[in-house]
Amino acid sequence: MSNSEQLDFSYFPGCSMATTAAESNASLMKAARVLGFNLIELEDWNCCGSSSASTLCKDLALGMAARNLSLAPAGRPLVAMCPRCLLYLRRAQARLRQDPEIRRELEERWQRPIPLDLEIMHFLEVMARFGLDRLRQSVKRSLKGLKFVPYYGCTVFGPPDLEREKHYQGEMENILKVLEAQPLIGAYTHRCCGSFLSATDPELVTPLVNEIIDSAVAAGAHCLVTSCAMCQLNLEIRCSSRIKLPIFHFSEVLGLGLGAEDYEGWFIRHLVDPRPLLHNLALVA
Protein backbone atom coordinates (compact mmCIF):
# COMPACT_ATOMS: atom_id res chain seq x y z
CA MET A 1 0.00 0.00 0.00
CA SER A 2 1.31 3.42 -0.93
CA ASN A 3 0.10 5.18 2.19
CA SER A 4 2.34 3.48 4.66
CA GLU A 5 1.91 5.81 7.58
CA GLN A 6 -1.45 5.24 9.28
CA LEU A 7 -2.97 8.32 10.89
CA ASP A 8 -5.37 7.82 13.80
CA PHE A 9 -8.45 9.96 14.38
CA SER A 10 -11.42 9.70 16.69
CA TYR A 11 -14.56 9.73 14.58
CA PHE A 12 -17.94 11.18 15.52
CA PRO A 13 -20.54 9.86 13.04
CA GLY A 14 -23.63 11.66 14.37
CA CYS A 15 -27.24 10.58 13.90
CA SER A 16 -27.50 11.24 10.15
CA MET A 17 -24.39 9.31 9.20
CA ALA A 18 -25.53 6.44 11.40
CA THR A 19 -28.98 6.20 9.77
CA THR A 20 -30.38 8.24 6.85
CA ALA A 21 -26.92 8.77 5.36
CA ALA A 22 -25.49 5.32 6.01
CA GLU A 23 -24.22 5.35 2.42
CA SER A 24 -22.09 8.37 3.23
CA ASN A 25 -20.69 6.61 6.26
CA ALA A 26 -19.91 3.45 4.29
CA SER A 27 -18.15 5.35 1.51
CA LEU A 28 -16.24 7.47 4.01
CA MET A 29 -14.95 4.38 5.79
CA LYS A 30 -13.89 2.88 2.50
CA ALA A 31 -12.10 6.02 1.32
CA ALA A 32 -10.42 6.60 4.68
CA ARG A 33 -9.09 3.05 4.79
CA VAL A 34 -7.53 3.31 1.35
CA LEU A 35 -5.97 6.66 2.23
CA GLY A 36 -4.49 5.35 5.44
CA PHE A 37 -6.74 7.29 7.81
CA ASN A 38 -7.82 5.20 10.73
CA LEU A 39 -11.21 6.58 11.82
CA ILE A 40 -11.94 5.15 15.26
CA GLU A 41 -15.59 5.57 16.16
CA LEU A 42 -16.15 7.37 19.46
CA GLU A 43 -17.28 4.69 21.89
CA ASP A 44 -21.00 5.08 22.80
CA TRP A 45 -21.31 8.56 21.27
CA ASN A 46 -24.58 10.45 21.57
CA CYS A 47 -26.39 13.03 19.42
CA CYS A 48 -24.56 16.38 19.34
CA GLY A 49 -27.79 18.01 20.53
CA SER A 50 -28.73 19.30 17.06
CA SER A 51 -30.60 22.52 16.47
CA SER A 52 -33.46 21.26 18.64
CA ALA A 53 -31.52 21.17 21.91
CA SER A 54 -29.77 24.35 20.90
CA THR A 55 -33.12 26.06 20.34
CA LEU A 56 -34.85 24.87 23.48
CA CYS A 57 -32.20 24.81 26.19
CA LYS A 58 -28.59 25.96 26.11
CA ASP A 59 -27.53 23.88 29.10
CA LEU A 60 -28.92 20.74 27.55
CA ALA A 61 -27.24 21.53 24.23
CA LEU A 62 -23.93 22.05 25.99
CA GLY A 63 -24.30 18.85 27.99
CA MET A 64 -25.11 16.69 24.96
CA ALA A 65 -22.14 17.97 22.98
CA ALA A 66 -19.81 17.93 25.99
CA ARG A 67 -20.46 14.26 26.75
CA ASN A 68 -19.05 13.40 23.34
CA LEU A 69 -15.96 15.45 24.08
CA SER A 70 -15.57 13.55 27.36
CA LEU A 71 -15.49 10.29 25.38
CA ALA A 72 -12.67 11.39 23.10
CA PRO A 73 -9.24 10.07 24.06
CA ALA A 74 -6.56 12.74 24.21
CA GLY A 75 -3.80 12.66 21.65
CA ARG A 76 -5.76 12.26 18.46
CA PRO A 77 -8.03 14.75 16.69
CA LEU A 78 -11.80 14.31 16.64
CA VAL A 79 -13.28 14.17 13.14
CA ALA A 80 -16.90 14.88 12.25
CA MET A 81 -18.57 14.63 8.86
CA CYS A 82 -21.69 16.66 9.63
CA PRO A 83 -21.09 20.42 9.68
CA ARG A 84 -23.79 20.96 12.30
CA CYS A 85 -22.31 18.35 14.63
CA LEU A 86 -18.93 19.99 14.09
CA LEU A 87 -20.38 23.37 14.99
CA TYR A 88 -22.04 22.17 18.20
CA LEU A 89 -18.99 20.21 19.31
CA ARG A 90 -16.71 23.19 18.75
CA ARG A 91 -19.12 25.61 20.33
CA ALA A 92 -19.32 23.40 23.43
CA GLN A 93 -15.56 23.25 23.66
CA ALA A 94 -15.28 27.03 23.36
CA ARG A 95 -17.89 27.44 26.08
CA LEU A 96 -16.15 25.00 28.43
CA ARG A 97 -12.88 26.83 27.96
CA GLN A 98 -14.54 30.00 29.19
CA ASP A 99 -16.46 28.41 32.01
CA PRO A 100 -14.36 26.14 34.27
CA GLU A 101 -17.25 25.87 36.73
CA ILE A 102 -19.56 24.10 34.27
CA ARG A 103 -16.71 22.00 33.00
CA ARG A 104 -15.95 20.76 36.52
CA GLU A 105 -19.61 19.99 37.12
CA LEU A 106 -19.87 17.92 33.94
CA GLU A 107 -16.59 16.15 34.59
CA GLU A 108 -17.83 15.16 38.03
CA ARG A 109 -21.12 14.00 36.64
CA TRP A 110 -19.47 11.58 34.24
CA GLN A 111 -16.25 11.00 36.17
CA ARG A 112 -14.20 11.71 33.08
CA PRO A 113 -12.01 14.61 32.04
CA ILE A 114 -13.14 16.77 29.14
CA PRO A 115 -10.08 17.61 27.03
CA LEU A 116 -10.08 21.30 26.13
CA ASP A 117 -7.19 21.17 23.70
CA LEU A 118 -8.74 18.43 21.60
CA GLU A 119 -8.58 19.33 17.94
CA ILE A 120 -12.03 19.05 16.32
CA MET A 121 -12.17 19.04 12.52
CA HIS A 122 -14.33 18.26 9.54
CA PHE A 123 -13.22 15.43 7.29
CA LEU A 124 -12.64 18.01 4.55
CA GLU A 125 -9.88 19.42 6.73
CA VAL A 126 -8.34 15.98 7.16
CA MET A 127 -8.25 15.71 3.38
CA ALA A 128 -6.93 19.22 2.84
CA ARG A 129 -4.15 18.85 5.41
CA PHE A 130 -3.09 15.24 5.09
CA GLY A 131 -4.95 13.76 2.15
CA LEU A 132 -3.97 15.37 -1.14
CA ASP A 133 -0.69 13.52 -1.69
CA ARG A 134 -2.16 10.29 -0.44
CA LEU A 135 -5.04 10.75 -2.86
CA ARG A 136 -2.71 11.42 -5.79
CA GLN A 137 -0.90 8.18 -5.06
CA SER A 138 -4.07 6.13 -4.71
CA VAL A 139 -6.36 7.27 -7.54
CA LYS A 140 -7.82 4.23 -9.24
CA ARG A 141 -10.59 5.65 -11.33
CA SER A 142 -10.51 8.92 -13.22
CA LEU A 143 -13.71 10.95 -13.01
CA LYS A 144 -12.85 12.91 -16.11
CA GLY A 145 -15.93 14.43 -17.67
CA LEU A 146 -17.93 14.64 -14.45
CA LYS A 147 -19.06 18.24 -14.02
CA PHE A 148 -20.11 19.01 -10.47
CA VAL A 149 -21.25 21.92 -8.36
CA PRO A 150 -19.60 21.83 -4.93
CA TYR A 151 -22.43 22.42 -2.49
CA TYR A 152 -21.15 23.35 0.95
CA GLY A 153 -24.41 24.47 2.55
CA CYS A 154 -24.48 27.20 5.13
CA THR A 155 -22.68 25.74 8.11
CA VAL A 156 -19.35 24.26 7.15
CA PHE A 157 -17.92 27.76 6.74
CA GLY A 158 -18.51 28.42 10.39
CA PRO A 159 -20.81 31.10 11.75
CA PRO A 160 -19.52 34.35 13.26
CA ASP A 161 -19.11 33.26 16.87
CA LEU A 162 -16.49 30.81 15.64
CA GLU A 163 -15.05 33.01 12.96
CA ARG A 164 -11.47 32.40 13.93
CA GLU A 165 -12.00 28.74 13.20
CA LYS A 166 -11.06 27.25 9.85
CA HIS A 167 -12.98 27.78 6.68
CA TYR A 168 -13.19 25.26 3.90
CA GLN A 169 -13.99 27.33 0.83
CA GLY A 170 -12.54 25.71 -2.26
CA GLU A 171 -11.31 22.54 -0.58
CA MET A 172 -13.89 20.26 -2.14
CA GLU A 173 -12.86 21.49 -5.59
CA ASN A 174 -9.15 21.05 -4.81
CA ILE A 175 -9.69 17.51 -3.68
CA LEU A 176 -12.00 16.35 -6.45
CA LYS A 177 -9.82 17.93 -9.13
CA VAL A 178 -7.21 15.34 -8.20
CA LEU A 179 -9.74 12.82 -9.51
CA GLU A 180 -10.08 14.94 -12.67
CA ALA A 181 -13.69 15.85 -11.97
CA GLN A 182 -14.55 19.34 -13.11
CA PRO A 183 -15.92 21.89 -10.62
CA LEU A 184 -18.32 24.52 -11.96
CA ILE A 185 -18.90 27.99 -10.65
CA GLY A 186 -21.97 30.16 -10.90
CA ALA A 187 -24.43 28.07 -8.89
CA TYR A 188 -25.60 28.44 -5.31
CA THR A 189 -22.88 26.71 -3.34
CA HIS A 190 -23.62 27.70 0.23
CA ARG A 191 -27.27 28.65 0.31
CA CYS A 192 -29.15 27.04 3.19
CA CYS A 193 -30.91 23.73 2.35
CA GLY A 194 -33.83 24.41 4.69
CA SER A 195 -32.63 22.46 7.72
CA PHE A 196 -35.49 21.34 10.00
CA LEU A 197 -38.07 23.34 8.01
CA SER A 198 -37.88 20.47 5.55
CA ALA A 199 -39.66 18.38 8.19
CA THR A 200 -41.99 21.02 9.63
CA ASP A 201 -42.79 23.29 6.67
CA PRO A 202 -41.77 21.54 3.45
CA GLU A 203 -43.70 24.01 1.31
CA LEU A 204 -41.22 26.71 2.38
CA VAL A 205 -38.22 24.59 1.50
CA THR A 206 -39.17 23.28 -1.94
CA PRO A 207 -38.84 26.63 -3.78
CA LEU A 208 -35.39 27.16 -2.25
CA VAL A 209 -34.17 23.69 -3.05
CA ASN A 210 -35.45 24.14 -6.58
CA GLU A 211 -33.47 27.37 -6.89
CA ILE A 212 -30.32 25.58 -5.79
CA ILE A 213 -30.79 22.67 -8.20
CA ASP A 214 -31.93 24.93 -11.06
CA SER A 215 -28.83 27.07 -10.60
CA ALA A 216 -26.67 23.96 -10.92
CA VAL A 217 -28.56 22.89 -14.05
CA ALA A 218 -28.09 26.38 -15.51
CA ALA A 219 -24.36 26.16 -14.78
CA GLY A 220 -24.23 22.96 -16.83
CA ALA A 221 -23.63 20.56 -13.94
CA HIS A 222 -24.24 16.82 -14.04
CA CYS A 223 -24.59 16.63 -10.29
CA LEU A 224 -24.02 18.34 -6.95
CA VAL A 225 -21.54 17.15 -4.35
CA THR A 226 -22.36 17.95 -0.74
CA SER A 227 -20.30 18.12 2.43
CA CYS A 228 -23.35 17.67 4.66
CA ALA A 229 -25.67 14.68 4.95
CA MET A 230 -28.69 16.76 5.93
CA CYS A 231 -28.22 19.00 2.89
CA GLN A 232 -27.96 15.90 0.71
CA LEU A 233 -31.27 14.59 2.02
CA ASN A 234 -33.12 17.89 1.79
CA LEU A 235 -31.90 18.51 -1.76
CA GLU A 236 -33.08 15.05 -2.76
CA ILE A 237 -36.47 14.88 -1.06
CA ARG A 238 -37.60 18.50 -1.55
CA CYS A 239 -36.74 19.08 -5.20
CA SER A 240 -39.77 19.36 -7.47
CA SER A 241 -37.98 20.82 -10.50
CA ARG A 242 -38.42 19.15 -13.84
CA ILE A 243 -34.74 18.28 -14.05
CA LYS A 244 -33.50 16.53 -10.93
CA LEU A 245 -29.75 16.14 -10.57
CA PRO A 246 -28.11 13.39 -8.55
CA ILE A 247 -26.75 14.65 -5.23
CA PHE A 248 -23.56 12.87 -4.18
CA HIS A 249 -22.06 12.80 -0.74
CA PHE A 250 -18.50 14.06 -0.96
CA SER A 251 -17.30 10.75 0.46
CA GLU A 252 -19.03 8.79 -2.32
CA VAL A 253 -17.20 10.67 -5.06
CA LEU A 254 -13.97 10.19 -3.17
CA GLY A 255 -14.71 6.48 -2.78
CA LEU A 256 -15.44 6.13 -6.50
CA GLY A 257 -12.16 7.79 -7.39
CA LEU A 258 -10.35 5.43 -5.06
CA GLY A 259 -11.72 2.50 -7.00
CA ALA A 260 -14.66 1.35 -4.85
CA GLU A 261 -16.66 -1.42 -6.50
CA ASP A 262 -19.36 -1.78 -3.83
CA TYR A 263 -21.07 1.48 -4.74
CA GLU A 264 -24.35 -0.24 -5.67
CA GLY A 265 -25.23 -0.41 -1.99
CA TRP A 266 -24.67 3.34 -1.65
CA PHE A 267 -26.57 4.39 -4.72
CA ILE A 268 -29.73 2.35 -4.23
CA ARG A 269 -30.31 4.51 -1.18
CA HIS A 270 -30.47 7.67 -3.30
CA LEU A 271 -33.84 9.08 -4.29
CA VAL A 272 -32.27 10.37 -7.50
CA ASP A 273 -30.28 7.42 -8.78
CA PRO A 274 -26.79 8.54 -9.88
CA ARG A 275 -25.98 5.28 -11.69
CA PRO A 276 -27.38 6.26 -15.11
CA LEU A 277 -25.17 9.35 -15.06
CA LEU A 278 -22.08 7.34 -14.16
CA HIS A 279 -22.85 4.84 -16.92
CA ASN A 280 -23.50 7.54 -19.51
CA LEU A 281 -20.16 9.12 -18.78
CA ALA A 282 -18.60 5.63 -18.81
CA LEU A 283 -17.11 6.25 -15.38
CA VAL A 284 -18.19 2.85 -14.09
CA ALA A 285 -18.43 -0.44 -15.93
Partner 1 sequence: MSRTLPQAKTDAPMPAITPGERNRSLLAEVKKRSGTDFNRCFQCRSCANGCPFVQAMDHPPNAVLRLLQYGLDQQVLECNTIWVCVGCHTCSSQCPMAIDIAAVMDTLRLLAMERGAAIAKPNILDFHEEVLHSLQRYGRAHKLGIMWHYKLQTRRWFSDMDTGLKMLAHRKLELRPSRVQAIDEITGLFKCYWGESR
Helix and strand totals (H; E) in the chain: 15, 8
Q: In this structure, which long-range contacts are made by residues 168-173, counting pairs with CB atoms below 8 Å and at least 24 apart in sequence?
A: 168/122, 168/124, 168/125, 168/128, 168/227, 171/124, 171/125, 171/127, 171/128, 172/124, 172/225, 172/227, 172/250
Which residues, other chains included, contact 120 with Cβ-Cβ below 8 Å and sequence gap of 6+? Answer: 77, 78, 80, 86, 89, 90, 93
Among 49, 131, 255, 274, binds partner 1 (CB under 8 A): 49
Show contacts with partner 1 in window 247-266 (CB under 8 A).
Answer: none
Which residues, other chains included, contact 251 with Cβ-Cβ below 8 Å and sequence gap of 6+? Answer: 24, 25, 27, 28, 31, 81, 123
Q: How far is CA 185 from CA 10, 79, 147, 217, 241, in A?
A: 34, 28, 10, 11, 20
104 lies in the site for partner 1, by CB under 8 A:
no
Q: How far apart are CA 254 and CA 26, in angstroms?
A: 12
Min. distance of Cβ 276 from partner 1 in angstroms?
16
Min. distance of Cβ 38 from partner 1 in angstroms?
22
Nearer to partner 1, 75 or 160 (CB): 160
166 lies in the site for partner 1, by CB under 8 A:
no
Residues in the chain: 285
Nearer to partner 1, 53 or 146 (CB): 53
Among 31, 39, 126, 233, binds partner 1 (CB under 8 A): 233
* Burial degree of 214 (CB within 10 A; 0-12, 13-18, 19+): middle
Nearer to partner 1, 18 or 277 (CB): 18
Residues 65/48, Cβ–Cβ less than 8 Å: yes
Nearer to partner 1, 1 or 56 (CB): 56
Min. distance of Cβ 144 from partner 1 in angstroms?
29
Residue 96 CA to its chain's centroid (Å)? 25
Which residues, other chains included, contact 133 with Cβ-Cβ below 8 Å and sequence gap of 6+? Answer: none
77 lies in the site for partner 1, by CB under 8 A:
no
Q: What track of x and - describes contact with partner 1 for positions 180 through 219 (by CB under 8 A)?
A: -----------xx-xxxx-xxxx-x---x--x--xx--x-
67 lies in the site for partner 1, by CB under 8 A:
yes
Q: How far apart are CA 164 and CA 280, in angstroms?
A: 43
Among 141, 147, 166, 270, binds partner 1 (CB under 8 A): 270
Among 3, 25, 54, 227, binds partner 1 (CB under 8 A): 54
Number of residues that bind partner 1 (CB under 8 A): 54
Nearer to partner 1, 180 or 214 (CB): 214
Among 2, 6, 19, 169, binds partner 1 (CB under 8 A): 19
Nearer to partner 1, 59 or 117 (CB): 59
Residues near partner 1 (CB under 8 A) are: 15, 18-20, 22, 44-47, 49-60, 63-64, 67, 109-110, 154-155, 157, 159-161, 191-192, 194-197, 199-202, 204, 208, 211, 214-215, 218, 233, 237, 268-271
